[in-house]
Structure 1
Amino acid sequence: MGPFDWLPRAPLEPLQLDWLQGVELAVLRLDCIDPLISGNKWFKLTGHLAQAQNARGIISLGGAYSNHLHALAAAGKRFDFPTVGLLRGHPQDTPTVLDLKAFGMQLHWLGYGGYRARHAPDFWLPWREQYPHLHPVPEGGGGIAGALGCAVLVEQVRAQLPALGWTDYDGWWLAAGTGTTLAGLVLAEAGAHTVYGAMAVPDDHGVAQNVESIVQGGYELVDASRGGFAKVDPLLLEFIETTEQACGLPLEPLYTGKALLALKVQIEAGRFTPGTRLIFVHTGGLQGRRGFIA
């Protein structure tokens, strides 16, 4: 496979919202890099694809609304390599799953118990036997390889600061599902700026452990899960609608909406003082909102 030399650049845009209270916010629009291979997913994949030079394709895991599998299947179709998806739960035709099929991804449904076993030491053995020529990628494109693929985002932001009239910034703010992108930013920052991860999943999903396995220090995690993964409430949906009307930034309720709402809560609590400059990473995933927002 590969090598793949497609490395899109995401625009950095100022964000004006009433509740910022003097905090300056710029958003790195990873949702704008491509209509299908959107968000941070491609950057995570680049690290794994670099390790898959001797493989014919990729096999990975995700749910029925998985942004990671969606981007992987789209990449496989565009760059002509086979993809296999191991899915949580039982067969269902969500908009995401229909896309996966259209992109040519081979799907296997593991049920819920089978999917929970994904961290077991022998989980991959039968799949390696069935697909010996495919390279396995962890859920969400996680691990050190995925983190290293995201490290380039720091360079992309720094190159665009002059257009904002900024010479520097104080930190990053982004949603954390596995913590892989956050870890990549921490690696690239090397202590220069704090990376704040708004956890879109509860503690028992292992975000802290995932991050700690890659980096030590340089980041903070805050709870943004609103009660659980994929938990959506009227306040969150109202916030997303109000934000889109106010500044035109499209959000989805699983990650970016939760992360930006959590930032609002932190600012209103006095966590960040006026004049603080933050980079908000729009991690994409807009395809997944088809199951939540009409």
Structure 2
Amino acid sequence: MSLIHLREALTKKLLVREYSMDACKFYVAHLDAVNHQWGGNKLFKLIGFLEEVSIGDTLVSFGGEHSNHLYALAALADSFRIVVYIRRSYTTQSNVDSRVVRLLRESGVSCHYLASKDYQRARNDEAYRQSLGRIHNASCIIPEGGNGAEAEFGLRLLATKLNHQFVAPTEFHLAAGTGTTARYLAKHLNDRHRLMVTPVVTPSQLGFDELDNAEIAWYQPRKRFAKLRAADELRLAHCADIKLSLDRVYNIHALETLMASNFRGPKCLVHTGGMRSQIANL
């Protein structure tokens, strides 16, 4: 996908489908369908970082081995020289690349690894990120997950789409990791709507304790992504029955909050993607 194609894809109307499960009718805004291969909220977050760069510039970014952000970033490898710093997960087998890392290498992305301590520094220390960017003469340095103020540009665009496509007051359900998407959707969704945020991390990992114009519904914070209860596995099976594909890390838990909601108007799951970078042994 070129930068031009990305911009065109993000201007199109969102794919919204209606589903029914256990006598509950709800909508799904399929951000995972923004593009045939590439999709999700990560593309909306990326576009704001690319406003001041030129084709052929060097981009430096960061992520784990299964990062949806790095997967999305690989879509732009034909337009930019991309350098990524990766932290290996503690479950990684020696000398075995994840699906995401294989994709990065196949796309021509330059991959480097950081020890856990240095990766934490890259996550939290902008000066350190800048020093790594200077090594590669980077025009743009994108934090882990695209979690910077620049992400507001694309997420405001997403909120505008939801505002236009949902006329009636609607309760939107969104899974949250660091919470960047939740923060800016809460800021730009119309006041007639309601945003329910379901964190999939521990409280210390979420980027805020509370959020204006949104409600946080703690589901079951886990120490390891994709570690599901039997009830979650059953919910995934029911989703498969209605041909709704959800990942095991994020969206399945936001759907659980939606199913438990007593909101009387339309309810919509904001499907942020996540399927493409997921592998069986997460």
User: Which position in structure 2 is the counterpart of 1:99?
Assistant: 103
Residue identity in the other structure for 1:93: D
Residues 51 and 184 of structure 1, relative CA distance in 2, 3 Å threshold: farther
Aligned residues: 271
Residue identity in the other structure for 1:116: Q
Q: CA deviation at 1:257?
A: 1.4
User: Which position in structure 2 is the counterpart of 1:5?
Assistant: 7
Alignment map for 1:14-33 (pairs within 5 Å): 14-18=18-22, 20=24, 24-33=25-34
Alignment map for 1:52-91 (pairs within 5 Å): 52-53=53-54, 56-77=57-78, 80-89=79-88
Residues 92-140 of structure 1 deviation map (CA, whole Å, 9 limit, x = unaligned): 4011111111111111111212111120243214312211233101111
The answer as to whether partners of 1:46 and 1:146 remain within 8 angstroms in 2 is yes
The structure that is helix-richer by fraction is: 1
The answer as to whether partners of 2:29 and 2:269 remain within 8 angstroms in 1 is yes
Alignment map for 1:160-171 (pairs within 5 Å): 160-161=165-166, 167-171=167-171
Alignment map for 1:189-208 (pairs within 5 Å): 189=189, 191-208=191-208
The answer as to whether partners of 1:64 and 1:87 remain within 8 angstroms in 2 is yes
Residue identity in the other structure for 1:179: G
**What SS does the corresponding residue of 2:150 show, helix, strand or coil?**
helix
Alignment map for 1:234-253 (pairs within 5 Å): 234-235=229-230, 236-245=232-241, 247-253=242-248
Residue identity in the other structure for 2:168: D
The answer as to whether partners of 1:44 and 1:150 remain within 8 angstroms in 2 is yes
Residue identity in the other structure for 1:28: A
The answer as to whether partners of 2:169 and 2:194 remain within 8 angstroms in 1 is no
**What SS does the corresponding residue of 1:291 show, helix, strand or coil?**
coil
Residues 134 and 143 of structure 1, relative CA distance in 2, 3 Å threshold: same
User: Which position in structure 1 is the counterpart of 2:216?
Assistant: 221
**What SS does the corresponding residue of 2:77 show, helix, strand or coil?**
helix
Residues 191 and 227 of structure 1, relative CA distance in 2, 3 Å threshold: same
Residues 102 and 225 of structure 1, relative CA distance in 2, 3 Å threshold: farther
Residues 62-116 of structure 1 deviation map (CA, whole Å, 9 limit, x = unaligned): 1111111001012223xx2111111112764011111111111111111212111
Alignment RMSD, CA only?
2.5
Task: State the alpha-carbon separation in 2 of the partners of residues 160 and 220 from structure 1.
Answer: 22
Task: State the alpha-carbon separation in 2 of the partners of residues 64 and 291 from structure 1.
Answer: 13
**What SS does the corresponding residue of 1:186 show, helix, strand or coil?**
helix
Residue identity in the other structure for 2:173: W
Q: CA deviation at 1:282?
A: 0.4
User: Which position in structure 2 is the counterpart of 1:164?
Assistant: none
Alignment of 1:141 onto 2:146: yes
Q: CA deviation at 1:239?
A: 1.6
User: Which position in structure 2 is the counterpart of 1:34?
Assistant: 35
The answer as to whether partners of 2:67 and 2:277 remain within 8 angstroms in 1 is yes
Alignment map for 1:165-184 (pairs within 5 Å): 167-184=167-184
Task: State the alpha-carbon separation in 2 of the partners of residues 238 and 261 from structure 1.
Answer: 11
Task: State the alpha-carbon separation in 2 of the partners of residues 125 and 76 from structure 1.
Answer: 21
Residues 292 and 160 of structure 1, relative CA distance in 2, 3 Å threshold: farther
Residues 12 and 289 of structure 1, relative CA distance in 2, 3 Å threshold: same
TM-score, normalisation: structure 1: 0.83
Residues 211-232 of structure 1 deviation map (CA, whole Å, 9 limit, x = unaligned): x7xxx61012222354234141
Q: CA deviation at 1:261?
A: 2.2
Task: State the alpha-carbon separation in 1 of the partners of residues 105 and 43 from structure 2.
Answer: 19
**What SS does the corresponding residue of 1:279 show, helix, strand or coil?**
strand
- Counterpart of 2:271 (choices 260, 271, 282) is 282
Residues 237-293 of structure 1 deviation map (CA, whole Å, 9 limit, x = unaligned): 332122111x211011011112212333x33xxxx24x3322210001111332348
The answer as to whether partners of 1:169 and 1:279 remain within 8 angstroms in 2 is no
Deviates more, 1:28-37 or 1:220-229: 220-229
**What SS does the corresponding residue of 2:208 show, helix, strand or coil?**
helix
Q: Give unpaired runs (5+ residues) of structure 1.
A: 162-166
The answer as to whether partners of 1:60 and 1:139 remain within 8 angstroms in 2 is yes
**What SS does the corresponding residue of 2:127 show, helix, strand or coil?**
coil
User: Which position in structure 2 is the counterpart of 1:119?
Assistant: 124
The answer as to whether partners of 2:169 and 2:192 remain within 8 angstroms in 1 is no
Task: State the alpha-carbon separation in 1 of the partners of residues 7 and 101 from structure 2.
Answer: 28
TM-score, normalisation: structure 2: 0.86
